Structures are given as C-alpha cells and as structure tokens.
Amino acid sequence: MDLSLSETELAFRDEARAWLAANVPAEPLPSMDTAEGFVAHQEWEARLAEARWSVVSWPREVGGREASLVEWVLFEEEYHRAGAPGRVSQNGIFLLAPILFDHGTPEQQQRFLPSMATGERIWAQAWSEPEAGSDLASLTSSARRDEDRGGWLLNGQKTWSSRAAFAHWGFGLFRSDVAAERHRGLTYLLFPLDAPGVTVRPIAQLDGEAGFAEIFLEDVFVPDADVLGAPGDGWRVAMSTAGNERGLSLRSPGRFCAAADRLVELYRNRSGFETGARAPSSTTGGDHHRDRVVDAWIAAQAYRLYTWGTVTRLAAGGDVGAAGSVNKVFWSELDIALHETALDLLGPEAEVESAWLDGYTFSLSGPIYAGTNEIQRNIVAERILGLPKEPRGAAR
C-alpha cells in the first residue's frame, strides 16, 4: 500500500479543504430528523451540489467530478475534519446510487440521479419488515403483477425506515413470486412515498425525534419503469452493494478520526493542559482515562489505514466482500468507545452537553443497523475464518 499522494490528488484535497473552510455553516444545523432540520440539510446538499462536491465520484453529466476512489476518501476525510453537516441524502447516494449505476437502465439513471445529487429528492431504504430484519429473505411484503396497467401492486409493511418521515421516494424488496425459493422471487422496486395507498407513520428514536418511520402499502401501483434490475432478481441486485455499505461507503474513517481528535481536545481541556494549570487527576480520571483516549485515537487511525488498504485493493480490481463485515463490527464498536470515553470524561456534565450525548445515543444503534454485529460475526466466522456453520434453529 503506497500512501503517497500524487500532485493531482493533493490539488483535489486542497481545493476541497478550501471550499469547506469557506462554506461549512458556523453553527450546527438543526437535527435532520425534524421537519425544519430536514429542509436545512436539503439546502446544504444543494449548496454542495452547486459546487460539485455532493457526489464527487459520479460522472459529470449527473452532477459529479469523476473523482477516483482515493480522491473520494480524501474528500470524506476533509468533510469530517471540517465538521460539515451529516448527509441527509446518504441513503440515496451511498446505498441506492451504486445499485442504479450497476443495474439501472439509462432512463432510470437520467431520471433519478440528478435530483439525488442536488438533494431535491431524498430516498428512504424500505428493506426491513416487522418479521424480517436480520433474516431479510423472510420478508412478506408483496408485488403482484398488474398486466393491464403494465406494472406491480405493492402490499405489506416496512419498518425502521430512516428519514422516511420526511423523504420523498423509497427503494425496497418485495416478494413477487410466492412459489419461488426464499431468496428468489424477490423484486427490487422504487416508489414515491406520496403515491396513493402509501401511509408513512413516524417512529420516534431514543432522542424523541422521528428518525424512522413505518411504511404501510395498500395496492400501491408501480409501473414497470420503476423496477430496478430484472423482476425476480431483487436479492442479487440488493446484495451486490451490501458489502460496500458495511465496509466502505457508509462510515468513512474521517468521521471517527474527527471524533477522536475532538476527544483528545476534550481531554486536554479538562486536564488543564492548555493553561499549564493541570487539574487534579480526579477530574480527568488520571491514567485510566488517558489510556482510553489514546486507545480510541489509535483505533480510529487503525481504521483509517485499514480503509486505505481496502481502497488500494478495490483500485486493483478486488472487491470488499465478506471483509466488509470486519469493518462493520470495528467501526460500530469504535463509535461507542469514543463516545463512552467522552461521557466519562464529562462526568455529570454529560447530561447537559448535547453534542457528545447525541452522538452517544446514536452510536448505540451502530451494532444494529447495516446488519447486526451478531450476524456480521457469523459472516466473519463462516466465510473468512472457515469455522463450522451456525447450527440451524440455534439462532435466537
């Protein structure tokens, strides 16, 4: 792995750094899980898009700058270092767009990608159902053929759909052939969340905001033009990018390196390091806290280096595959460790300090979303380490 950057890459990084320094809002935006914050984040997406920073790796004709994978990682590092707002368009640009590029028709790409790049249309992922989370292939929401109208009728219930309370369109898997094997007979469909027959019911998160929603579908008509990939091939289409979500695109290391730097800063402030007036060790928990700060910082750097390794492998034609599960477990546990350490340093103050506290409550969901860590450990055990397969029926 060669970590030296070319002149072009350095120029790209400097341009991104300068633009972010001049444009990142001085005050944090309101939470994107509120109506007001959602719109404020959409406006930020539009600003990014105007300067072509919203989807740097995409082709120019759909809003990108054709940046390489290395440049994409550099941009992500700069983005988080600058403390820029969370991406309200993340489901679309990181989860749906790669599938659209690989499996979408040119017409679908033209119709959906530009408004995703500008943040005008925000997407919700409608995969999970009340009885189908880890075992996604057991989903029962159906797509029934409507020959007369040339499309499909959707029925069923989706749940835990992030940002669906305010989003505009959903992408999800539906059972289109009940007679087929579990993983077959599924179709990947795109549908507007305001279509007749769709009811969206917000679900409050731990912090009280409507971070998720349930989506109820009753005879919702979707034309053939909105099927992604071939009918019945939805599982393969969906899984073609799941490794990327866990392993690279969803949680870039810049996010954790920036949090680790803030943690170091917090420790320095609380220990009186800046002023030279060192606080008694009881304020900072002494060596114990210091060691945890150091461990968290090193872990964030390790994750960064591992990601550069992944990028090098991908650039050489490899894929993320099952190694994405190693990453998923690592980044989700790192996020909790970073935030727990900060709360311990803050002591009772943590209860009124909202940034670390908000980050902590969100970090608790890391081992659940993008595939639970128990399932990721099964994947690591079976596919990477070659351990015996989990006995059937012993799961829960």
Ligand X SMILES: Cc1cc2nc3c(=O)[nH]c(=O)nc-3n(C[C@H](O)[C@H](O)[C@H](O)COP(=O)(O)OP(=O)(O)OC[C@H]3O[C@@H](n4cnc5c(N)ncnc54)[C@H](O)[C@@H]3O)c2cc1C
Residues that bind ligand X (CB under 6 A): 125-128, 133-134, 160-162, 365, 368-369, 371-372, 374-375, 378, 390, 395-396
Backbone angles phi, psi at 155, to 5 degrees: -140, 150
66 CB-contact burial (10 Å; exposed 0-12 / middle 13-18 / buried 19+): exposed
Q: Give the residues across from 221 on adjacent strands.
A: 153
Residue 37: strand, helix, or coil:
helix
Q: Which amino acid is at 261?
A: D
Comparing CA positions, the residue from 346, 313, 151, 334 lying closest to residue 244 is 313
Nearer to ligand X, 14 or 131 (CB): 131
State the nearest-atom distance from the C-beta of 57 to ligand X, in Å.
22
State the nearest-atom distance from the C-beta of 162 to ligand X, in Å.
3
Q: Which two tokens stand for residue 136?
A: 């996604």
Are the CB atoms for 363 and 335 separated by under 8 Å? yes
State the nearest-atom distance from the C-beta of 209 to ligand X, in Å.
12
State the nearest-atom distance from the C-beta of 277 to ligand X, in Å.
41
Nearer to ligand X, 109 or 372 (CB): 372
Nearer to ligand X, 122 or 320 (CB): 122
State the nearest-atom distance from the C-beta of 138 to ligand X, in Å.
9
Nearer to ligand X, 61 or 207 (CB): 207
Residue nearest to ligand X (CB): 133
**301-324 burial, b for 16+ CB within 10 Å, e for fewer?**
eebbebbbebbeebeeeeebebbb
State the nearest-atom distance from the C-beta of 381 to ligand X, in Å.
10
SS (H, E, C) 111-145: HHHHHHHHCCCCEEEECCECCECCCHHHCCCEEEE
223 CB-contact burial (10 Å; exposed 0-12 / middle 13-18 / buried 19+): middle
CB-hemisphere CA count at 13 Å for 148? Answer: 2
Q: Position of tokens 């960064």? A: 304
Q: Which residue of the set 77, 129, 245, 390 is catalytic?
A: 245
Q: Which two tokens stand for residue 34?
A: 């509120």
Question: Is 245 among the catalytic positions?
Answer: yes
Nearer to ligand X, 60 or 389 (CB): 389
Are the CB atoms for 215 and 139 separated by under 8 Å? no
* CA 333 from centroid of its chain's CA atoms: 15
Are the CB atoms for 290 and 266 separated by under 8 Å? no
Nearer to ligand X, 172 or 229 (CB): 172
State the nearest-atom distance from the C-beta of 395 to ligand X, in Å.
3
Nearer to ligand X, 192 or 272 (CB): 192
174 DSSP assignment: E
Positions marked active-site: 245
